[in-house]
């Protein structure tokens, strides 16, 4: 049930990114809800779940809004894998590590996306422009993670089960 809610949150984040934050007064900021949710999911649930969700939501984004199929699926999958495999070793319900991980992975996502679009000659953006955009997006995604962290930690943390149920008060 929790994974269904997580997929719906990713879907809502994708819809918000593609619709609400494309309107001219609001389009100055462009939060990466999908990236933030994937990073939190990878840190809390592990790389297998996060990479699966990342590839699925990335393919949906590529099919609906992308310039070619596979760009977001690959970059989201790579980010989710790094968050789950490398950075989850440092997570002990620590907001600071989660914040710093989001900053690093936002930067990585922007440059992987830029590198692939530059490789296939889809973009004419200059590296200095991408650097400035990635720094702005790092700040915005860091703030989004700070806002989503309390809600999503309760959703994504695995429930610990005790071996024996002990009724309270009778011990």
CATH number, domain containing residue 106: 1.10.1760.20
* 22 assigned to some structural domain: yes
Q: What is the pLDDT of residue 86?
A: 82
Contacts of residue 124, Cβ cutoff 8 Å, sequence gap at least 6: none
162, pLDDT greater than 60: no
pLDDT grade, residue 161 (50/70/90)? low
Contacts of residue 10, Cβ cutoff 8 Å, sequence gap at least 6: 34, 37, 38, 53, 57
Q: What is the pLDDT of residue 170?
A: 46
Q: What is the pLDDT of residue 66?
A: 81
* 164 assigned to some structural domain: no
Q: What is the pLDDT of residue 147?
A: 95
* 163 assigned to some structural domain: no
Least confident of 7-16, 36-45, 148-157: 148-157
Domain assignment of residue 94, given as a range: 2-156
Query: Domain count of the chain?
Result: 1
Say what percent of the chain tops pLDDT 90: 61
Question: Are 94 and 23 within 8 A, CB to CB?
Answer: no
- The continuous run of DSSP H or E covering 28 comes out as none
Its pTM stands at 0.87
Q: Can you tell me the distance from the alpha carbon of 41 to that of 27, in angstroms, rounded to the nearest whole number? A: 26
**Per residue in 101-148, pLDDT tens?**
999 999 999 999 999 999 988 888 899 999 999 999 999 999 999 999
* 48 assigned to some structural domain: yes
* 8-state DSSP, 23: S
* 166 assigned to some structural domain: no
CA distances from 155 to 30, 80, 135 (A): 24, 17, 29
């Amino acid at each position: 049930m929790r994974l269904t809610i997580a997929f719906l949150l990713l879907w809502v984040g994708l819809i918000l990114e593609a619709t609400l934050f494309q309107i001219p007064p609001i389009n100055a900021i462009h939060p990466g809800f999908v990236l933030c949710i994937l990073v939190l999911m990878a840190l809390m649930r592990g790389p297998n779940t996060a990479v699966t969700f990342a590839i699925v939501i990335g393919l949906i984004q590529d099919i609906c809004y992308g310039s070619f199929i596979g760009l977001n699926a690959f970059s989201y999958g790579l980010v989710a894998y790094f968050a789950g495999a490398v950075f989850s070793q440092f997570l002990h319900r620590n907001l600071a590590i989660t914040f710093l991980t989001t900053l690093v992975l936002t930067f990585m996502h922007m440059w992987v996306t830029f590198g692939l679009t530059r490789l296939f000659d889809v973009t004419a953006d200059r590296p200095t422009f991408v650097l400035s955009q990635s720094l702005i997006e790092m700040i915005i995604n860091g703030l989004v993670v700070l806002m989503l962290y309390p809600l999503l930690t309760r959703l994504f943390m695995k429930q610990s089960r005790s071996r024996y149920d002990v009724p309270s008060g009778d011990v």
